[in-house]
A = this chain, B = another copy of it.
Amino acid sequence: MPNPALGIQQEIKQTRPFRSLGAEAAVALLRTADAVRTYMAKVVEPHGITVQQYNVLRILKGSFPNPLPTLEIGERMIERQPGITRLLDRLDAKKLVRRERCTKDRRLMHCWITDAGRQLLEGLDPKIDEADRRTLSSLPEREVRQLIDLMQSIRATVK
């Protein structure tokens, strides 16, 4: 029930209090990503690791049995991670990864997932799959594909 006394500007602000459609989309995107991340954390943290740590384990499982150098892992991560060294320190302390200096190029530190790390993932992956299914795969496939395309073009413009 619009109230003419408020003026059109303010009336519009009630339904869309955003400065632009782009601003609204940015907020929607960030808010949704946070919700998805929180949701994943709920699955992963009872197993004693964070979302970031889970991400690293998945990367190392993907390259297994080949090790990866530290910064290579950082580059493959979902979220930009300058503190990758210490993140690996924590996984190392939990015996989920192991590291060794590369003999070919002694600047590199090779890192790989341990048996314990792979066992952890065996228990976790099905739960994550289930979570993905319940959240994103609940949309029609066409929309999920749309989403993936949209994300890609946004990343392209953000640089």
Contacts and interface: CB of A to CB of B under 8 A. Distances in A.
Interface string A23-55: 111111111111111111000000000000000
A32 B29 contact: yes
A43 to B, nearest CB: 12
A154 B148 CA distance: 13
Contact of A156 (B5, B31, B125, B132): B5
Contact of A21 (B79, B134, B141): B141
Nearest to A132: B22
A150 B143 contact: yes
A80 B159 contact: no
B29 A132 contact: no
A35 B155 CA distance: 7
Copies in the complex: 2
Give the secondary structure class of A's interface. Answer: helix
Interface string A110-148: 000000000000000100110011111111010111111
24 contacts: A4-B156, A7-B152, A12-B59, A12-B78, A19-B132, A21-B145, A24-B148, A25-B144, A25-B147, A26-B36, A28-B147, A28-B148, A28-B152, A29-B33, A29-B151, A30-B33, A30-B36, A31-B155, A33-B33, A33-B34, A35-B155, A36-B154, A146-B150, A147-B147
The 5 closest A-B CB pairs, nearest first, are A33-B33, A22-B137, A22-B132, A22-B136, A28-B151
Interface of A: 2, 4-5, 7-8, 12-17, 19-40, 59, 62, 75-80, 125, 128-129, 132-139, 141, 143-148, 150-159
